[in-house]
């Protein structure tokens, strides 16, 4: 009986398939649509993945930068000593590059991809973040796409655009390998992006863009060990958000003015909270207060827990540094703290970080 039933079902399925093949009108349009979507491409061209649109949007705004110095033997002669890249970020001619690209320059030449060349003026620089802002007097400038809501994540595809070894504009490909790399920062305060997109000499100051052609970082360095071992696939970029903040401060004041309160602190975690007998797992605990500093004068003490600054919730040590850095020296900020289990608010007169 089972054999007979199985045979009947098989004959029925074969008959149905033959009818559908012979009479197209019996086919379900939805099945045809699905079949067309899963049909493998008939040529390699249909499989090609390209980021050419991103490059077309971003590349015209990435410039070559040549720093020149006077010859020690003849002050009337200028010689090209440095090579780098830069990114046009504003139609007024503002260019972001690395501080180390122009640090020793007596003259800075900017070459655009459309063949135009201009002398650049240094608006200001910040060695701590390795950022310099230049300006050129030109019209009809290409400006790189920028997204203030950009949120770079590990695994994002990125393209590095610059002028390595003066070969001409070159684009390399990779992903964001890590975020929050503060160990390469001059003072450990700022976090960098790590990527495996190749960044070589001459790429410094160039653009790191996403697949939409939007600026996500300023290429700054490749990882070099203090040994003879070659290292590949480890490069770093200054996040766009940080570069943009620094640029705005330099344009406004000619330099970066940072707030300062004079404390050393550590993050509050579950273990620390349990030891202190509190329920807070955000905020930071003050470890030391600089004698005579703004925090000391305001009455901040060791083991105080800072919960918020001017109403902004503190998530950790890094967030406090960002908040305090952005505070204008001479202004007063309200610090919500916890001391011996009691909440209180202290007013701190912000000083200026001169280090």
Contact 254, 124 (CB under 8 A): yes
- Cα(38)–Cα(120) distance, rounded to whole angstroms? 54
Strands 107-111 and 94-97: unpaired
Q: Give the alpha-carbon dihedral of 70, 72, 75, 79, to 10 degrees.
A: -30
Burial of 171: CB neighbours in 10 Å, binned 0-12, 13-18, 19+: buried
Contact 134, 86 (CB under 8 A): yes
Contact 98, 131 (CB under 8 A): yes
Burial of 120: CB neighbours in 10 Å, binned 0-12, 13-18, 19+: buried
Residue in 16, 40, 39 with CA at minimum distance from that of residue 28: 16
- Cα(302)–Cα(289) distance, rounded to whole angstroms? 7
The residue annotated as part of the active site, out of 204, 235, 304, 336, is 204
Q: Does the active-site annotation cover 304? A: no
Contact 189, 246 (CB under 8 A): no
Q: The tokens of 153 are what?
A: 């994540």
Contact 55, 171 (CB under 8 A): yes
Radius of gyration (C-alpha) of the chain in whole angstroms: 29
Q: Does the active-site annotation cover 204? A: yes
Which residues have C-beta within 8 Å of that of residue 147, sequence separation ≥ 6?
A: 212, 214, 215
Q: Give the alpha-carbon dihedral of 304, 305, 310, 316, to 10 degrees.
A: 140
Distance of CA 281 to CAs 273, 284, 287, Å?
Answer: 6, 9, 16
Q: Does the active-site annotation cover 100? A: yes
The residue annotated as part of the active site, out of 130, 191, 235, 336, is 130
The residue annotated as part of the active site, out of 67, 85, 100, 235, is 100
Distance of CA 264 to CAs 74, 270, 295, Å?
Answer: 50, 20, 10
- Cα(49)–Cα(37) distance, rounded to whole angstroms? 18
Positions marked catalytic: 100, 130, 204
């Amino acid at each position: 009986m089972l054999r007979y039933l199985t045979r009947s079902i098989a004959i029925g399925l074969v008959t149905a398939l033959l009818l559908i093949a012979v009479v197209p009108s019996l086919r379900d349009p939805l099945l045809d649509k699905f079949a067309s979507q899963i049909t493998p491409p008939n040529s390699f061209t249909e499989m090609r993945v390209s980021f050419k649109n991103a490059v077309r949007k971003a590349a015209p705004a990435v410039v070559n930068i040549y720093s020149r110095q006077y010859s020690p033997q003849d002050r009337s002669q200028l010689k090209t000593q440095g090579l780098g890249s830069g990114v046009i970020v504003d139609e007024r001619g503002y260019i972001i590059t690395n501080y180390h690209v122009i640090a020793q320059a007596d003259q800075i030449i900017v070459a655009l991809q459309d063949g135009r060349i201009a002398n650049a003026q240094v608006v200001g620089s910040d060695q701590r973040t390795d950022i310099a802002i230049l300006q050129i007097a030109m019209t009809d400038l290409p400006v790189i796409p920028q997204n203030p809501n950009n949120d770079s994540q590990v695994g994002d595809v990125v393209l590095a655009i610059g002028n390595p070894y003066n070969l001409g504009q070159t684009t390399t490909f990779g992903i964001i390998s890590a975020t929050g790399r503060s160990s390469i920062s001059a003072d450990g305060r700022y976090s960098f992006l790590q990527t495996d997109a190749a960044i070589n000499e001459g790429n410094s100051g160039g653009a790191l863009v996403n697949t939409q052609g939007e600026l996500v970082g300023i290429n700054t360095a490749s990882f070099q060990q203090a040994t003879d071992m070659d290292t590949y696939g480890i490069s770093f970029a200054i996040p766009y958000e940080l570069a943009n903040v620094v640029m705005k401060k330099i344009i406004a004041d000619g330099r970066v003015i940072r707030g300062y309160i004079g404390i050393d602190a550590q993050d509050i975690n579950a273990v620390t909270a349990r030891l202190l007998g509190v329920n807070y797992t955000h905020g930071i605990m003050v470890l030391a207060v600089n004698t005579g500093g703004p925090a000391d004068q305001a009455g901040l003490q060791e083991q105080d827990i800072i919960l918020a600054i001017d109403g902004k919730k503190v998530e950790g040590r890094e967030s406090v540094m960002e908040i305090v850095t952005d505070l204008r020296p001479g202004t007063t900020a309200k610090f919500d703290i916890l001391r011996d289990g009691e909440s209180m608010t202290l007013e701190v007169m912000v000083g200026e970080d001169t280090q």
